[in-house]
Structure 1
Amino acid sequence: MLSLAALELRHLAPPPPAPTLRWSEGELERLERARELLATRMDRDITLAWLCASVGMNEHRLKQGFRSVFGTTPQRMLLELRMRRAWALLETGCQVAQAGWQVGYAHPSNFSAAFTRFFGRSPKSVFGRRSG
């Protein structure tokens, strides 16, 4: 009976804190460089393998670093950067297809679907509507 109660209490107790990951100055610089590459090359096809090779980190450590330091994954950060840039382009009157190309989408329909999924509204609904 007592061991059963102990098992139940163990399930109610908060989980132990996750081990704190330590990042060297060099790793932090490489993670920042990876973020810069995502922001400055969003118009290109960016693969995780290319990003890892470009900054000199293995895939596991890069993903771990993004989650720990930036609170997201490299793929999610790239999507967010692309969508926010596309929104800004559309607000200033950039055509939907052109905005898609400028943020790395080869096909306007793929861009429109991704934009709608991300923001819950179509790119056409943002076109030329600069918010002040």
Structure 2
Amino acid sequence: MSSMQALLETPSVLVSRFDHGGGPVPAGTAEEVCDHYCINFVDSGEFGLGIGRRFWRLRRGAAFAWHPRTVQRYVHFEGVPADTCMTIRFRDGFEREIEREGWLAGTAHVPVFHPGNRLAFLRLQLDRILQRRSVAALDSWTTELIEAAVRPQLPHRIYDELQLRRHAARVELAHERILLHSDEPHTLASLASSVGMSPFHFARVFRSLIGAPPHRLLRDVRLDRARSMLLDGESVTTTCYAVGFGNLSHFIRSFRRRFGTAPSLLRKKAQAGTSSDVA
């Protein structure tokens, strides 16, 4: 007997566990019309998924999507243990944004994502979010999931479960260090050393799991913090050095490239808005 258990939700997303039951599912084919955008992770068991003339056999670790109005065929094989899946269903405004931007448009015809360390790492992170029942972390994680689905990784070596967990523990330490201490003068060598890895190996593993190299993540975290400071009225020069940039010209160029405007113009617009509110 199948069941769906809601685990955690926000206004943007609902995470549920779908369980086909304890024993083997009777062999056969069933059709279902998808009614929402969802991304699903197969946690156990095995089954077939078909759209039109295409067919995939999915096992533990696979990820696939639902696209509204798409007819999917599910095939269960004789003697194969029942499957369980973690379902991430997008809701309301976020689902409308997915539709409008076409982020999952391709899944109407090819619903199965290529295996990748990034998706496997995100699935691992989801367990920790569910354990902590962190709604804020779930919304942030959901954005990363969509990004990973929209920008698939280049072909690379897939880590087994033991390797993934070992690498994930180290990468998460370095990731947290960047987020909490972005103003410090980090280098690739210092970040790698802090988690006991060589710089080359650390850079490769970090990018594989996080989806961006360490230096790019550090730059983006600094720029996001800079934007907040400028909106609060801080000067450009003070902001530049406070967030960790060592060169003002480099900061201005990076800021303009990221946000499409100069930091001084953003600050002026923020101040003008504040003045009009006061008036």
| TM-score range for the pair, normalised by the shorter chain length | 0.7 to 0.9
Could you tell which deviates more after superposition, 21-30 or 89-98?
A: 21-30
After TM superposition, give the deviation of residue 89 of structure 1 in Å.
1.0
Higher strand proportion, which one?
A: 2
**Letter in structure 2 aligned against 1:45:** P
Match of residue 157 from structure 2: 19
Matches within 5 A, 1:39-118: 39-118=179-258
Please tell me the residue identity of whatever aligns with 1:86.
Answer: A
CA displacement, residues 56-93 of structure 1 (integer Å, 9 cap, x when unaligned): 11122211222211111001111111111111111111
Question: 2:188 touches 2:203 (CA, 8 Å); kept in 1?
Answer: no
- Residue 50 of structure 1 aligns to which amino acid in structure 2? S
SS of residue matched to 2:267:
coil
Structure 1 Cα separation of the partners of residues 209 and 238 of structure 2: 33
Higher relative contact order (CA 8 A, sep 6+): 1
- Structure 1 stretches of at least 4 aligned residues deviating more than 6 Å after TM superposition: none
**Counterpart Cα distance in 1 of 2:256 and 2:198:** 33
Matches within 5 A, 1:118-129: 118-127=258-267, 129=270
State the TM-score, normalized to the length of structure 1: 0.76
- 3-state secondary structure, aligned to 1:50: helix
RMSD of the TM alignment (CA)? 2.1
Q: CA deviation at 1:120?
A: 2.2
Q: Distance in 1 between matches of 2:226 and 2:192?
A: 25
**Could you report, residue by residue, the CA deviation over 1:108-131 in whole angstroms, capped at 9, with x for unpaired residues?**
333212211222210012116289
TM-score (norm 2): 0.38
Q: In percent, how many aligned pairs have the same letter?
A: 31
- Deviations along 1:27-75, one digit per CA (max 9) or x if unpaired, are 2111001111112222122111111111111122211222211111001
The residue type paired with residue 204 of structure 2 is Q
CA distance in 2, matches of 1:18, 1:25: 17
Q: Which amino acid aligns with 2:159?
A: L
Structure 1 counterpart of 2:199, one-letter code: E
CA distance in 2, matches of 1:80, 1:51: 16
Bigger Rg, structure 1 or 2: 2
Q: Which runs of 5+ in 2 are unaligned?
A: 1-154, 274-279
Shift in Å, 1:25: 2.4
Separation in structure 1 between the aligned mates of residue 191 and residue 175 of structure 2, nearest angstrom: 9
Q: 89-98 or 119-128: which moved more?
A: 119-128
1:21 maps to a residue whose letter is Y
